[in-house]
Chains A and B, each alone.
Chain A
Amino acid sequence: MIEVLQLLINGLVAGTILAVPAIGFTAIYAVLRFPNFTVASHATIGAFAGYVANTAFGFPAWAAVAVAFVVTGAAGVVNDEIVLKPLRPAGALTAAIAAVALTIVLENVIRFVWGNDLRGYDLPIRRDWQWAGIRVGPQQVENLAIAIAAMGALFLFLAFTRTGKAMRAVADNPMLAGIKGIDADRVARLVNFVGMGLAGVGGMLLGLDTSIDPLTGFRVILSVFAAAVVGGLGSIPGAVVGALTIGVAEELSLLSLAPAYKTAVGFAAILVVLTLRPRGLLGERAF
């Protein structure tokens, strides 16, 4: 029983962190209508940006996460402007293909500079907290707090600011938004900044728990897709629900599966949901 409870807690924590890049992926999908696989490489960029801020400049974890957000967001905008935006008129699938190619390009820029070695963040060593046989790491709690703060900020932004409303309007009906004078290009840049920034934060949060290398982002991409598709591709609350579902399912799978298959759980979840409820748990409405 304690074991199940422990896995449940781990799953909820992992799911909350997973929700961050999943929101990035799904938000970009909601506005630009193509699966932007570069979420993988941008998560890696975020992990490395945070790594440099943390190890070279001595930033604490939360501040390094902020650096990761800004650097990755900016990288996301630049990469989209140069590579993906000109290809979008050719169709969602052409853009998706280009995104996979771009992911390989970006991953190898990281590999060129830092190599394939595993790197760890410079963090104070803290003892796990224990209650009645349940262990929780202070870093886990800090990551959880950062993830919740990032998501809270995003919800406030989308719900109450003019720009946030413009973003939702474009996601909901681009043509109508255009008639109302919303600049679609500006919204596209914005959603790339925010979406890829969140991917970067997600990459760093995942790295804080373990270590990072050029494949950090790619390794979680299945779980990120799963979270987004299970919740309903293009739905931000869906991404959160999906991420929590996947996070808990992945941890509970440890009861009967080898740990290596954790990421396959997400894929299985995609297949089940697409078969039974093709629009995901919450449907495809953006917000």
Chain B
Amino acid sequence: MEGYLVAMATFAALYALLALGLNLVWGMTGMINLGLVGFYAVGAYVSALLTKKAGWPMAVGLVAAMLAAATAGALVALVTGRLRGDYLAIITLGFSEVVRLVASNEIWLTNGTDGISGIPGPWRGQVAPATFNAIYLVLSGAAVAIVFLAMQRVRHSPYGRVLRAIRDDDQVAAVAGKRVMAFKVEAFALSAAVLGLAGALYAHYTSYIAPEGFVPLISIYIVLALTAGGTGSNAGAVVGAFLVVFFLESTRFITAGLPGLKPVQVAAVREFLIGAGLIAVLRVRPSGLLPERLPRHAPPRTPSGGR
């Protein structure tokens, strides 16, 4: 039981990183990323391959993963930055599918659908498995703390204010002399770096990655986490991630209680509940549990009540 809780907390921390990354683009800058699992996958594969096949140290693997994901993010933003958001939705969703396609088919590099196993982890094999899990929970918790603080810093800085201005009306931001395109590309790249970091941490934690671990459903988990927690709020992103893991796990217990279902049906019920959960949150409480509060210097309320 204790091992189970530690594992779930670690996954919640990884999801919290993903949600923080998504919050930077979607919550703060207003650019949607429906294919965030693609950047997660890029990070996981880059770090796994560099540490396992090239024998690089894990720290270098993590940095390389972040750089690779950031590059991919910058490219996606460069192509779509001038277009309306719905194109970005299509491109990001497409990007994640192409990443999975490449991971499934470049067998010489990624081992195809069999996946990569035996990815090194910090002190794995030198300490008892339970100790490794505990160490990893601390490491991923520390990663969440660092990224959270960095994101809070972005949020409260003039830089974050520009991002929010772009989110609310990018033409106004442009008229105010901000280089909207550059901000969009930077925000997307920075966000993708966080997603890539989460992917690398995932790879070193589970020691095994395969294309089936990077399905679009993961993107939905994270969108659900951020929406439930509060889009635009970093604390909301972290809380939402924990809520989603809790929700995911409780569906496991609920469906276990349903008699006479085949395993595929149990899986279908769980995925159904996730999708329905996101729709329900969007309907019932779209601002989330911890709604975004504009930091400091809140503008005076206008009679029309716009934010």
Contact = CB atoms under 8 A, between A and B. Distances in A.
Contacts of B227: 97
Contact of A267 (B34, B84, B97): B97
Interface residues of B, number: 45
B279 A101 contact: yes
A44 to B, nearest CB: 13
B98 interface: yes
Interface string B213-237: 0001101100110010000000000
Grouping DSSP codes into helix (H, G, I), strand (E, B) and loop, the B interface class, with mixed when no group exceeds half, is helix
A35 B84 CA distance: 11
A93 B275 contact: no
Interface string B83-105: 11111011101110110011011
Contact of B268 (A111, A260, A263, A278): A111
B90 A108 contact: no
A105 B95 contact: no
Given A264-B98, A270-B94, A97 B278 contact: yes
Nearest to B274: A104
A152 to B, nearest CB: 28
A267 B268 contact: no
A83 B93 contact: no
Contacts of B283: 86-87
B269 interface: yes
B220 A260 contact: no
Grouping DSSP codes into helix (H, G, I), strand (E, B) and loop, the A interface class, with mixed when no group exceeds half, is helix
B32 to A, nearest CB: 5
Nearest to A105: B275
A105 B268 contact: no
A98 B98 contact: no
B97 A98 contact: no
B268 A112 contact: yes
A118 to B, nearest CB: 13
Contact of A104 (B83, B98, B105, B275): B275
B278 A101 contact: yes
B32 A96 contact: yes
Contacts of A264: 98, 101-102
13 contacts: A33-B86, A94-B282, A97-B227, A102-B279, A105-B275, A112-B268, A222-B97, A225-B94, A260-B104, A261-B101, A267-B97, A267-B98, A275-B79
Q: Identify the 3 closest CB pairs spanning chains A and B, nearest first.
A: A104-B275, A105-B275, A101-B278
